[in-house]
Amino acid sequence: MRRKYPIGLQSFRKIREGDYLYIDKTELIHELVTTGNYYFLSRPRRFGKSLLVDTIDELFSGNHKLFEGLWIADHWDWEQKNPVIHLRISQIDYQKRGLYDALSSELNKVAEEMGLDLLETDLKSKFRELIEKAAKSLGQVVILVDEYDKPIIDYLDDPAKVKENRAVFKSFYSVLKDADRHIRFLFLTGVSRFSKVSIFSDLNNLQDITVGRMFNALVGITQQELETNFVAEIRNYADEMGVREVELIEKVRQWYNGYSWGGRDTLYNPFSLLSFMKEGEFRNYWFATGSPTFLVNGIRARGEYDFERVSSTEHILGNFDPLHMLSIPLLFQTGYLTIKEYNPNSRLYELGYPNQEVKDSLLDNLLSAYRGVYPDTSANETGGILLAIQNHDIPGLIDALNAVIASIPYDHWRADTESIFHIIMLLTFQKVGVDVGTEVHSSKGRCDLLVQTDRYIYVIELKLDGTAEEALQQVLDNGYLTPYTADSRQKTAIGISFSSQQRNVADYSAKEC
């Protein structure tokens, strides 16, 4: 029988009682709840945050039977129970009722489940009353807030609503500052970290565990967990595909692994990995489940495009203001970029795409945005690029580039500088997976594009409404290929002239060097 994969399931009880696969995270959870009291964790969507919060709920509720066979079963005092205030923000009806009324209604519901009567009507006072009465009658409370930022993330294109909901949250969470004696454990999760500054400014004891080694693998699946828990699937799919198991594991790693928040282990997005294990096909699973429209359009509006290797400080990564958005923290917090390296001397993080699934999908969306056809894909137009590059087919490369450029709708054409061609070509080469650099320096200047394969090196210079010969001569005169003289690969200089009127490659000239 095929195993049952908990794709999209957020209920720990349903997973355990329904005999779904569960990757045992309880040892890390035990460390979390016994070494601190107030935590904040940011992770991208569909990364297992809600399941983690629900598991903690069941743990403090003392539901021993659900944990039988897991590490924590023999390491927890099951006689000790705590009342749990579990707020699933994404499930309250804030879009129709407004955040204030939706939160107030949810507090009434929680109080009713605990057998408590609330007398206060003001939201802030009602939250305080719930915490105090629950602690007095049932013991210190556990407060779990899942997806705290959903009512803000949903309105990134509506600044007025962002301000309104942020003000509601700030007042709501301010109750926690003076409730310390009533709280056994507090845990908040979300996609973004921006509200930590404004909404949680009074919570000085809130420990942000988003970045760092200790809880890097609290959600997500490590390589070791994959190889331990999916032995049968790897064996079966390797046989079906006619490859060795080690080759399949490496391909799965390239497609879906790569997330890291400063730990030694890189992680798989559980949604993508479980979907692959169920379907047995290498496809885009995670990216396709969420619309990145606001993200793609925002990046395009700011004229940004190259996120292959970028550096940032931890402060910037956590400083996402919805009213003044910056692309790097937004991409990092939403899972499109991840930490590749950390330099303790400079205190800089180097970021990059986590894996092939995310890189291919985001680059396709960015290319479509710059071509003016988003949300349509650019896959058909870029199909011939890689083959031409690999086969050293220069005419074929030019034809493929024309296919990308000429299909831009006339009413979206804004090519008054050569930068738009530069951006489109860079995104195109990145999308098809070749090694491409931009503005690569030499002793006499810097070339527009440097493209490398295992057999060829291409230096490409671009001109708008100039001549291809002029562009080619610039490559030769400035010695852009000189640093690669000792390289055994075949080297080609290419000059390309774009026509702003005809929206295509007007001419090109190439020379072997």
233-235-240-245 Cα dihedral, nearest 10 degrees: 120
The CB-side HSE value for 292 (13 A sphere, CA atoms) comes to 28
Phi (first) and psi of residue 425, to 5 degrees: -70, -40
> What digits encode the pLDDT tens for the residues 39-53?
999 999 999 999 999
On whether both 60 and 175 belong to a single domain, the answer is yes
Q: Is the pLDDT of residue 193 over 80?
A: no
CATH number at residue 452: 3.40.1350
Half-sphere exposure of 192 (CA within 13 A, CB side): 26
Q: Are residues 77 and 203 in the same domain?
A: yes
- What is the mean pLDDT of the segment spanning 397-415? 75
Q: Considering only CA atoms, which of 69, 77, 88 is closest in space to residue 30?
A: 77
- Is there a single domain that holds both residue 166 and residue 313? no
Say which CATH number the domain at 39 has.
3.40.50
pLDDT at 32: 97
Say what the pTM is.
0.89
What is the mean predicted confidence (pLDDT) over 280-297? 82
Domain of residue 497 covers 378-512
**455: CB partners within 8 A, 6+ apart:** 390, 392, 489, 490
365 in a structural domain: no
Paired tokens of 149: 């930022």
Please give the average per-residue pLDDT across 367-378, as a whole number.
Answer: 87
Segment of 123-127, 288-292, 313-317 carrying the highest mean pLDDT: 123-127
Summarize the confidence of residues 213-234 as an average pLDDT: 95
- 183 with 264, same domain: the answer is no
Average pLDDT, the chain: 90
Question: Of 449, 469, 468, 467, which is closest to residue 459 (Cα–Cα)?
Answer: 449
Query: What is the Cα–Cα distance from 433 to 453, expressed in whole angstroms?
Result: 10
Within 8 A by CB and 6+ apart from 201, the residues are 170
The position carrying tokens 């055994």 is 488
Residue 91 has pLDDT above 80, yes or no: yes
How much of the chain, in percent, has pLDDT values that exceed 70?
A: 93
Find the DSSP H helices in 82-208: 94-97, 99-114, 123-138, 150-153, 159-173, 195-198
Higher pLDDT, 288 or 247: 247
Would residue 23 count as lying in a domain?
yes
In a domain, 505, yes or no: yes
CB 475 within 8 Å of CB 406: no
Residue 326, pLDDT score: 76
- Examine the pLDDT at 487 and tell me if it is beyond 60: yes
The whole-number pLDDT of residue 444 equals 63
Query: Do residues 53 and 171 share a domain?
Result: yes
Total Cβ atoms within 10 A of residue 34: 11
pLDDT digits (tens, 9 = 90+) for 49-85: 999 999 999 999 999 999 999 999 999 999 999 999 9
| pLDDT interval class at 378 (50, 70, 90) | confident
Q: What is the pLDDT of residue 442?
A: 57
Residues 494 and 407 in one domain: yes
Higher pLDDT, 254 or 437: 254
* 121 located within any domain: yes
Of 180, 208, 236, the residue that ends a domain is 208
Look up residue 356 and give its amino acid: Q
Q: Residue 75, SS3? A: coil
Confidence of residue 28 (pLDDT cuts 50, 70, 90): very high
Q: What tokens appear for 450 in the block?
A: 């440097």
Q: Please give the order of strands across the beta sheet that includes 504-512.
A: 435-442, 445-452, 456-464, 490-499, 504-512
> C-alpha 359: how far from its chain's center?
10
Which amino acid would we find at residue 203?
L
Which pLDDT band, with edges at 50, 70 and 90, does 121 fall under? Answer: very high
**DSSP one-letter string for 317-374:** HT--BTTB--HHHHHHHTTSSEEEEEETTTTEEEEE--SHHHHHHHHHHHHHHHHT-T
Closest CA to 177 of 135, 205, 144, 147: 205
* pLDDT reading at 8 higher than 80: yes
Q: Is the pLDDT of residue 462 over 70?
A: yes
**How high is the pLDDT of residue 123?**
97
User: Same domain, yes or no, for 387 and 446?
Assistant: yes
- The most confident of 15-24, 208-217, 368-377, by mean pLDDT: 15-24
Q: Does 303 or 24 have the greater pLDDT score? A: 24
Q: How confident is the model at residue 291 (pLDDT cuts 50, 70, 90)?
A: low
Number of structural domains (the chain) is 4
Quick one: pLDDT band at residue 327, thresholds 50, 70, 90? confident
User: Does residue 369 fall inside a structural domain?
Assistant: no
Please count the CA atoms within 13 angstroms of the CA of 375 that sit on its side-chain side: 7
- Interhelix angle for 394-406 vs 356-371, to 10°? 60
- The answer to the question of residue 408 being in a domain is yes
Which residue did the predictor score with more confidence, 291 or 81? Answer: 81
Residue 301 CA to residue 318 CA, distance in Å, equals 22
Q: 111 and 27 in one domain?
A: yes
CA distance 394 to 459: 12
How would residue 415 be classed by pLDDT, with cut points 50, 70 and 90? Answer: low
Is residue 234 one of the residues assigned to a domain? yes
The pLDDT, as a whole number, for residue 130 is 98
Residue 472's pLDDT is 95
Are 483 and 387 part of one and the same domain?
yes
Q: How far apart are CA 80 and CA 71, in angstroms?
A: 18
Segment 10-14 long-range contacts (CB within 8 Å, at least 24 positions apart) = 10/50, 10/51, 10/54, 11/51, 11/54, 12/51, 12/54, 12/55, 12/57, 12/58, 12/66, 13/54, 13/58, 13/63, 13/66
In degrees rounded to 5, what are phi and psi of residue 164? -60, -50
87 and 109 both lie in a single domain: yes
Q: Are residues 180 and 82 in the same domain?
A: yes
Q: Please, are residues 367 and 352 in contact by the beta-carbon 8 Å criterion?
A: no
* Residue 139 pLDDT level (bands cut at 50, 70, 90): very high
pLDDT at 416 over 60: no
Tokens matching residue 332: 């990092």
CA distance readout (Å), 227 to 8, 50, 218, 257, 260 = 22, 24, 18, 13, 18
Report the C-alpha gap between 85 and 79 in whole angstroms: 19
Query: Could you tell me if 106 and 230 lie in one domain?
Result: no
Cβ-defined contacts of 375-383 (< 8 Å, 24+): 375/291, 375/293, 378/404, 378/428, 378/431, 381/407, 382/428, 382/431, 382/432
Last residue of a domain, one of 288, 304, 331: 288
User: Quick check: is 361 in a domain?
Assistant: no
CA distances for 441 relative to 213, 423, 437, 459, angstroms: 36, 18, 10, 12
Residue closest to 176 by CA, chosen among 211, 242, 128, 209: 128
